[in-house]
Amino acid sequence: MVPSRSSAYIAVEKRQSGDMRNNLFKKEHRKLFMFWLIILLVCLVLAVLIILFIVLPLVVKYSFSIQQKIVFTHGGLPNMPSYFTEYYFPAYRNLYVPVLDLDRITKHVLGVWHILPVETAFVALNDTNFDFDKALADTKYDVIMYFHGTGEARSDSSRKYQLLSYYFHVIAFDYRSYADSSKGTLTEARVVNDCKQLYSWIRNKTQANIYVWGQSLGSSLAANTVLQVEKDGLQPKGLILESAFTSFEDELYVHPYGKIFAWLPWFYVTVVKPLRENGFIFDTSSYLKKIKCSVMILHAQDDSVVPYRFGRKLYEISSNRTGTAATSIYHEFDASLEYNHYFIYQDPFLKYYIMQFIGKNISLVPVKVL
């Protein structure tokens, strides 16, 4: 039996009606899916914001361990003694200097490099029995104690040492818990106590003038160390501050990471105040007011980590010190040079600034720092 035309129309209409219902169902299903997807995404964004801007500051507030890691960043640094013993660098020795903690009982060791001045290094490279201790004791060169920044090991500034070794015995070292130095609690007071003992170790090895150079966080540690050794009756010849901040509190508000949170109303209560209460102070301005030795400050205008206005402020403080006739020198490097936070050592005039500061009439040797 052949179906009538009307029944065929009815069948088509049923199919079309069914298709329409299916399409409507799919549209409603998609709308519902998109609705819950948006809800989920909003919840995820809110969760991330809550964790980032509420939970994380609270974790910082109550966790001393996290505070140490924020201030003294040292994860992922090379820590094998062989790395520092076999480093590709001429005429240096790797050694470990013992220090005592603040309790005067707990022992630590600091990984140290002693890099020879270029002229002395030339002799050492041709003498397998070269005596580093004798060279340091009998030297005509000054000594410079180098404090690196956070997140670095002593090997990270090897190109800077190439320049410094034209004028100094370079003593570069790692703070406790950094690289191959022994592990220990990291606070400003404890680290500075270690540095004081290393300074005394250097002084016991030589009668040469000792200069202290600090970069970034290391500049505040260097300034505090100089202040403490001066109180102990030891007198460094000079202090060089490279890319230095006025205080850690000031730096927290302008650091690239700090600025992410600095706008929060509770930033001071959850981050700044707890760090200060736990001894992470680094008040470079305050230390500088009391230091008696000569000071040279270096800062790049395009420094993206520590604004150069801090360098200018430190120079103002240093220039207005009372009770000392020591000099204060400030060198600011134009932003067009693109030295940023780490590359001031590349400046072709820096060697002359160093010579001016140390007051030596040293014959210039062509030096190229790559």
Using the predicted structure, report yes or no on whether residue 365 has a pLDDT greater than 50.
no
pLDDT in the model for residue 56: 74
Mean pLDDT lowest among 187-201, 262-276, 292-306, 327-341: 262-276
Please report how many Cα atoms fall inside a 13 Å half-sphere around the Cα of residue 185, on the Cβ side.
13
Helices (H), 149-187: 158-164
CB-based contact 273:330 (threshold 8 Å): no
360 vs 260, higher pLDDT: 260
- Nearest Cα neighbor of 270 from 55, 46, 49 is 55
Between the CA of residue 35 and those of 28, 31, 40, 42, 85, what are the distances in Å? 10, 6, 9, 11, 62
- Over residues 85-137, the pLDDT tens digits come to 999 999 999 999 999 999 999 999 999 999 999 999 999 999 999 999 999 99
58 vs 101, higher pLDDT: 101
CB-based contact 333:344 (threshold 8 Å): yes
- Sign of the dihedral defined by the CA atoms of residues 287, 258, 160, 95, in that order: positive
Amino acid at 173: F
Lookup: tokens for 304: 């993206």
- Nearest Cα neighbor of 133 from 67, 204, 185, 74 is 204
pLDDT in the model for residue 30: 76
- Over residues 233-258, the pLDDT tens digits come to 999 999 999 999 999 999 999 999 99
Mean pLDDT of the chain: 90
pLDDT in the model for residue 189: 98
